[in-house]
C-alpha cells in the first residue's frame, strides 16, 4: 500500500513518514504541495497515485487563530476539502487528524466518537469544519487526538524544559487531557490505514492528567529540579479558550489502544537525547 503524507515537515507528518510499516510512504511538505493550491495538489496526488492520503497539513496556532479565523479556516477546512476531493478522484482514502478542541470541555467523563461536538475556539471550529469537509467523500478516516508532543515540532515538553531555566514555574492544574506521543499516534494511523479503518476515531495516549501533573512528570523523568506550583486557568489567561476536560476514549473495537502517556514521554526523552 502506498501512503502520501501532506504536511510531512510538521511534527505528526514527520513521524508518519518515519513509520512506514509494510507500506511505501511518500512525504510532501507545503512547498511541495500546498493544500490551498488545487492544481498543484491534484497533480501531486495523481503523480504519486497513493492508496491513502494522510493530511497532516494544518493551521495549529490555537491562540493565533482567534485573531485569524479566516486563515485557520482556509487551511483546516478549505484545504481539507481540497485534499479529500483530490484523494477521492483517484479512489484513495483520506486521513484527517483532528482534535479534542471540537468539544467544549464541559463533560466529566471521557468523550466518545458519538458525543455531540461544540467547539469554543476558532481553532476548534476550523478543525470541525475540516472534519465535515473530509466526510463529504466516501472513504475517509478522521482521527481525533490531543496534547501532541514529538521531536519534530514545538511542544509542551520542550516548553517546560526550556522554562525550567527560570527556576520556578506555575502550570495550570484545572485542564485535564491525554498527552499523546506522535510516534505512537503515527504508528496507529499507519496501522488503521492498512486495516482500511474508516469513519471517526479517537486515538490518544492512555491515561489522563492535568498540565501540572504532566509538567511534574516531565521534570521528574528528565531529572530536572524546578520550583513547580499549580495555578488555575483564570490565573494564566490565553486568547483561545481551552477545554477544561478533553479526555478522549474510543467506543470502537477496531481502534488501536496507544501506550500510556508516561511511556510516550520516556520514549520522547530518549529520542531527544539520541538526536
- List, by residue number, the catalytic residues: 123
Alpha helices in the chain (DSSP H): 11-17, 38-48, 64-67, 69-73, 79-89, 122-134, 156-163, 182-194, 211-221, 261-274
DSSP H/E element including 6: strand 2-6
3-state secondary structure of 250: coil
Angular region, 185: left φ>0, alpha ψ -120 to 50, beta rest: alpha
Count of beta carbons in the 10 Å neighbourhood of residue 255: 20
Q: Which three cell numbers stand for residue 176?
A: 485535564
Give the end-to-end CA distance of the chain in Å, rounded to a whole number: 30
Q: Which class for 175: exposed (0-12), middle (13-18), buried (19 or more C-beta within 10 A)?
A: buried
> Is residue 223 classed exposed, middle or buried when 0-12, 13-18 and 19+ CB atoms within 10 A define those classes?
exposed
- When computed from its CA atoms, the radius of gyration of the chain, rounded to whole angstroms, is 18
Amino acid at each position: 500500500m502506498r501512503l502520501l503524507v501532506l504536511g510531512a515537515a510538521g511534527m505528526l507528518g514527520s513521524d508518519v513518514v518515519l513509520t512506514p510499516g509494510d507500506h511505501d510512504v511518500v512525504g510532501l511538505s507545503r512547498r511541495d504541495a500546498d493544500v490551498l493550491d488545487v492544481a498543484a495538489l491534484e497533480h501531486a496526488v495523481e503523480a504519486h497515485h497513493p492508496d491513502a492520503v494522510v493530511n497532516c497539513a494544518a493551521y495549529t496556532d490555537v491562540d493565533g487563530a482567534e485573531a485569524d479565523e479566516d486563515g485557520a479556516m482556509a487551511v483546516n477546512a478549505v484545504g481539507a476539502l481540497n485534499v479529500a476531493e483530490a484523494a477521492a478522484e483517484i479512489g484513495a482514502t483520506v486521513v484527517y487528524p483532528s482534535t479534542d478542541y471540537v468539544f467544549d470541555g464541559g463533560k466529566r467523563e471521557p468523550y466518545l466518537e458519538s458525543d455531540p461536538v461544540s467547539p469554543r475556539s476558532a481553532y476548534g471550529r476550523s478543525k470541525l469544519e475540516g472534519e465535515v469537509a473530509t466526510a463529504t467523500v466516501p472513504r475517509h478516516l478522521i482521527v481525533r487526538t490531543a496534547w501532541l508532543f514529538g521531536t519534530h515540532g514545538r511542544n509542551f515538553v520542550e516548553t517546560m524544559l526550556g522554562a525550567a531555566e527560570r527556576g520556578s514555574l506555575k502550570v495550570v492544574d484545572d485542564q485535564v487531557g491525554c498527552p499523546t506521543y506522535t510516534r505512537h499516534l503515527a504508528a496507529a494511523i499507519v496501522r488503521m490505514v492498512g486495516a482500511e479503518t474508516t469513519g471517526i476515531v479517537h486515538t490518544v495516549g492512555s491515561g489522563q492528567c492535568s498540565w501540572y501533573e504532566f509538567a511534574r512528570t516531565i521534570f521528574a523523568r528528565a531529572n530536572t529540579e524546578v520550583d513547580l506550583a499549580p495555578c488555575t486557568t483564570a490565573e494564566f489567561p490565553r486568547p483561545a479558550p481551552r477545554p477544561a476536560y478533553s479526555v478522549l476514549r474510543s467506543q470502537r473495537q477496531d481502534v488501536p489502544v496507544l501506550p500510556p502517556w508516561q511511556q510516550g514521554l520516556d520514549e520522547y526523552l530518549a529520542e531527544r537525547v539520541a538526536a
